[in-house]
Chains A and B, each alone.
Chain A
Amino acid sequence: MQPFEFSRTGDLQSAYSAYRAAAAEETSAARSRSEYLAGGTTLIDLMKLGVMRPERVVDINDLEAWRRCRGEPMKRRLR
């Protein structure tokens, strides 16, 4: 697995800031070097295989918004 910068935050705004970490590089290319980490079953697996090589990983498991996320049949609601 390629090394990466890791940050973990429970705040939506700081998660987004961390995702776009280098302020000077506000381009789609800069963003593509960041990945959000939620469950990880796909991201970590693909990182182990070298398919995904993010330079920054932003762990969003602590986001308050998750607690307001409701699942219904065929629907996901984020309030």
Chain B
Amino acid sequence: MLSTMSVTFLDRSSANAAPAATGAPHVPYTTTINVNGQRYHLALDVRTTLLDALRDHIGVTGSKKGCDHGQCGACTVMVDDRRVLSCLALAASVQGRNVTTIEGLAQDDGTLHPMQQAFIDNDAFQCGYCTPGQIVSAVACVKEGHAATDADIREYMSGNLCRCAAYPNIVDAINQAKTKMKEA
């Protein structure tokens, strides 16, 4: 990625939205993104992807860069409750939207999201690199109502690859979590 040449300033308190500048090349593009309930004002190279903004500029490194081409799903985040591949979304495109990453799933007191707990209970990972994307995707999969059967789960989780092939346990984890998520 060539998008690292940029200025970043973080302002977690100010409610003043940065002006939506029309980005000319080489001029930092000012944008405001809500990440896990926190608002960030950023001045970025207009080419910066949401994934690079999260990891390199905001410092939220849970979302992983696997292929950087939208094939592996390791970078999956939710934008306004929809699954988005953050490596193929420009940070400038999600201005004013609510982004949820793996860091935003647990409760403030540290209680894990049912899906996170289910992944632990079912041993649904080995190396763990794809896991943040898998879990965010799994939460959205259940919320979308696409977790009715094992076949549905496999189909609607097919955008998230796991080189360790923990797939059977991931399906088990989602089956466990979907019941708990309904109760909540």
* A positions within 8 Å CB-CB of B: 1, 3-8, 37, 40-41, 44-45, 48, 57, 59, 61
Q: Mark B33-67, 1 if CB is under 8 A from A, else 0.
A: 00000000000011101000000000000000000
Would you call A3 and B70 a contact (CB within 8 A)?
no
Tally of A-B residue pairs with Cβ under 8 A? 54
Would you call A45 and B29 a contact (CB within 8 A)?
no
- Given B29, B46, B49, B93, which contacts A61 in the complex, CB threshold below 8 Å? B93
Judge if B2 is at the interface, Cβ distance under 8 Å: yes
Would you call B93 and A59 a contact (CB within 8 A)?
yes
Interface range, B side: 20 to 34
Knowing A41-B70, A44-B49, A59-B93 are in contact, say whether A5-B22 is a contact too (CB < 8 A).
yes
In addition to A1-B2, A4-B46, A8-B20, 4 A-B residue pairs with Cβ atoms within 8 Å of each other are A1-B1, A7-B23, A40-B88, A44-B88
15 A-B pairs, CB-CB below 8 angstroms? A1-B1, A1-B3, A1-B47, A3-B45, A3-B47, A4-B25, A4-B46, A5-B23, A7-B23, A8-B93, A37-B90, A40-B89, A48-B1, A57-B90, A61-B93
**What residue of chain B has the Cβ atom nearest to residue A40's Cβ?**
B88
Interface centre among B29, B70, B88 (most CB of A within 10 A): B88
